[in-house]
Amino acid sequence: MALGYSKFNQYSLCLFALLMAHSNILAAKKCLYIASYHRGYEWSDGVERGLRKTLQGQCELKQFNMDTKRNTGEAFKKTSGLKARELILSWKPDVVIASDDNASQYVIQPYFKNHEIPFVFCGINWTVDAYGYPYKNATGMVEVAPITNLLNKVIHINGKPKNAFYLGVDVLTERKNFKRFNEATKELNIKLTKGLATTEKQWLDYYAQAQNYDFVIIGGNAGINDWRHSYVLNEIKTTTHKLSITIQGWMMPYAILGLTKIPEEQGEWAAKVAIAILAGAKPIDIPIVSNRKWDLWINQDILNKTDIKIPHSLIKKAKKTSEK
């Protein structure tokens, strides 16, 4: 009798576990990820990697890509924001994660400020002031860069520079980055000139012009739709002779020195906060934070085309990159 009762208990426990598992599947939480940009853009891909790795097994995950880096027109951005709104209202996610500025500007701020649906943002450049955060239903991570630290490394390598050239793309993110670099260089009495390109040729023309300055700050290239990696790299190698720096990891093939943000940090943090919200935490009780991790890089291939001498202590600490 005891043996039979034991087997019955085992069977009952197994059945109960199966029923509970089935019940959990039916009651699975839904997470929606809105990416401001597109797959294939390295920053977005890194955020997504961190997000998916951390959320695995925690909720049903759906993704919507706004694609507003390749399509910069105001009408397209508004239409993409409306599509994201319709998806949110129809799918009814338990939490929405939104990366980079345009998701906040064209989705959260106009349609979901203080809404009942909770939001976690990440990758907003420098400050959230333009979007009026915090909201009672939103928290997030701001994307900042170690500009002063990077400029101090330039001084360590080059001595005190008098001027510099900022080379980027004519998009919102780059305009915000230039503003921050301009503020930092003013503090060091460095005159900063900018060139914000819209085409590959214009970018290369600016790059050649930048060789007349003490050093070059390389911004992003997203938004230049005719960009050819191999061609640009070959042109750089025949033109470069000044120190070039960047805060963007995916631009390291084109720069000598980088102190770069880590996109996976943004995705991992946002996912952890989303999990906490699914467990009952309120966004308003979770402080808005900024990223805290950086990678130091040296591009030996570009460096070897110049007469620049980088201290061994810096080379020893840095990760190495070369052509991709």
Evaluate whether residue 316 is within a structural domain. Answer: yes
- Residue 27, pLDDT score: 47
Evaluate whether residue 67 is within a structural domain. Answer: yes
Q: What percent of the chain has pLDDT over 70?
A: 91
Each residue's pLDDT tens digit, 225-250? 999 999 999 999 999 999 999 999 88
- Across 125-149, average pLDDT: 93
Q: Residues 57, 88: contact at Cβ < 8 Å?
A: no
Contacts with 192 (C-beta within 8 Å, 6 or more apart), sequence order: 163, 164, 165, 166, 178, 181, 182, 185, 186, 217
Which phi-psi region, left, alpha or beta, contains residue 186 (left: φ > 0; alpha: ψ -120 to 50)?
alpha
- Residue 323, pLDDT score: 54
Q: 70 and 38 in one domain?
A: yes
Each residue's pLDDT tens digit, 22-80? 435 434 899 999 999 999 988 899 999 999 999 999 999 999 999 998 898 999 999 99
Q: HSE-up of 35 (CA within 13 Å, CB side)?
A: 26
Each residue's pLDDT tens digit, 176-227? 899 999 999 999 999 999 999 999 999 999 999 999 999 999 999 988 999 9
Element (H, E) at 189: none
Q: 222 and 119 in one domain?
A: no
Per DSSP, the three-state class of 117 is coil
Each residue's pLDDT tens digit, 107-117? 999 999 999 99
Evaluate whether residue 153 is within a structural domain. Answer: yes
Kindly tell me if the per-residue pLDDT of 5 is higher than 50. no
Each residue's pLDDT tens digit, 155-172? 999 899 999 999 999 988
> Which single residue is written with the structure tokens 């990820």?
33
What pTM was computed for the model?
Answer: 0.74
Evaluate whether residue 3 is within a structural domain. Answer: no
Q: 219 and 94 in one domain?
A: no
Q: Residues 291, 143: contact at Cβ < 8 Å?
A: yes
Confidence bin at 18 (pLDDT 50/70/90): very low
Q: 115 and 173 in one domain?
A: no
Residue 162 CA to its chain's centroid (Å) = 31
Q: 159 and 131 in one domain?
A: no
Each residue's pLDDT tens digit, 269-319? 999 999 999 999 999 999 999 999 899 999 999 999 999 999 988 888 888
Q: 256 and 189 in one domain?
A: yes
- 152: domain range? 147-261+294-321
Q: 232 and 184 in one domain?
A: yes
- Residue 126, pLDDT score: 87
Confidence bin at 3 (pLDDT 50/70/90): very low
Q: 137 and 151 in one domain?
A: no
Q: Mean pLDDT score of the chain, rounded to an integer?
A: 90
CATH number of the domain within which 137 lies: 3.40.50.2300
Distance CA 294, CA 189 (A): 25
Element (H, E) at 202: helix 200-210
Q: 127 and 254 in one domain?
A: no
Helices (H), 96-187: 101-103, 109-111, 147-158, 172-187
Evaluate whether residue 1 is within a structural domain. Answer: no
Confidence bin at 13 (pLDDT 50/70/90): very low
Give the orientation angle of helix 42-55 with respect to helix 263-278, to 10 degrees: 40
